[in-house]
């Protein structure tokens, strides 16, 4: 029995990409990963297309980097912002876990390594980064933090049994954080579907949001001069609130537009 056909880049590209003088955003996404099902394929296409449509609609030019490909390029020299989208689970060895992991899914170490390389290229050059789900987790792993390998069978952050994987979930935003300034609220209803999360927060980062059960739902860089924000939830889920998605993506684009003359060193 064969799986679904691989996702092609043209399936997710926005219908009206920007070609003008807007900031160029590198969108780092694994379009394909091991054990991909028809359900997850549809989710990746929908989520990625929503993210790209939103960025293009706000005037961003796009470089889509499919890190599931061995020949994925690094961010271009004209990139001034980076969005890290979701995908399969991070290789547990990258955060020092070597035992069994319940429900481990979609691990691709090459994809992880290419994503971490892209993150490094952005952060070394002070290019603003917004990480979503896996992207937020890898931001933490890049700096030496760890992940919870599995939140357990009763986690409220994803559907169970025959329920849909993604559900509405409440997150609490930490006052005084960059994330709080972006979304303008202390409590959000978001779309979640994750069985892993940030555990030990890297020293360079701080907690920016938590679930009602205390699970980390957002992190951000402590340095005021480094705009790096990660959210565990999926603002690019088109079934979720558009205002939160717009606030996060507008903030990334604004930071990217303000950055002048940055050059990524990975090509």
Name the residues annotated as catalytic: 133, 234, 236
**Contact, 174 vs 222, CB < 8 A?**
no
Alpha carbon distance 211, 80 (integer Å): 31
Angle at 115 between CA 145 and CA 127, to 5 degrees: 85
Alpha carbon distance 63, 168 (integer Å): 30
Q: Which of 188, 197, 193 is nearest to 242 (CA)?
A: 188
Rounded alpha-carbon distances, angstroms, from residue 201 to 123, 136, 155, 249? 17, 11, 20, 24
């Amino acid at each position: 029995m064969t799986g679904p056909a691989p996702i092609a880049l043209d399936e997710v590209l926005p219908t009206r990409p920007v070609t003008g003088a807007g900031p160029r955003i590198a969108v780092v996404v694994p379009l394909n990963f091991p054990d991909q099902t028809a359900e997850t394929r549809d989710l990746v296409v929908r989520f990625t297309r929503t993210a790209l449509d939103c960025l293009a609609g706000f005037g961003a030019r796009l470089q889509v980097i499919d890190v599931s490909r061995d020949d994925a390029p690094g961010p271009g020299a004209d990139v001034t912002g980076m969005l890290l989208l979701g995908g399969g689970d991070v290789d547990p060895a990258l955060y020092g876990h070597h035992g069994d992991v319940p429900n481990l899914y979609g691990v691709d170490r090459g994809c992880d390594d290419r994503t971490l390389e892209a993150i490094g290229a952005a952060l070394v050059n002070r290019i603003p980064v917004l990480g979503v789900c896996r992207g937020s987790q890898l931001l933490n792993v890049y700096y030496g933090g760890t992940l919870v390998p599995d939140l357990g069978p009763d986690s409220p952050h994803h559907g169970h049994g025959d329920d849909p994987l993604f559900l509405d979930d409440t997150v609490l935003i930490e006052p005084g954080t960059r994330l709080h300034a972006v979304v303008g609220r202390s409590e959000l209803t978001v779309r979640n579907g994750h069985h892993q999360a940030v555990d030990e927060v890297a020293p360079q980062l701080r907690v920016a949001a938590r679930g009602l059960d205390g699970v980390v739902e957002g992190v951000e860089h402590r340095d005021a001069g480094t705009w790096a924000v990660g959210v565990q939830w999926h603002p690019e889920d088109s079934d979720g609130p558009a205002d939160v998605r717009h606030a996060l993506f507008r903030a990334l684009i604004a930071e990217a537009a303000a950055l002048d003359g940055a050059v990524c060193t990975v090509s």
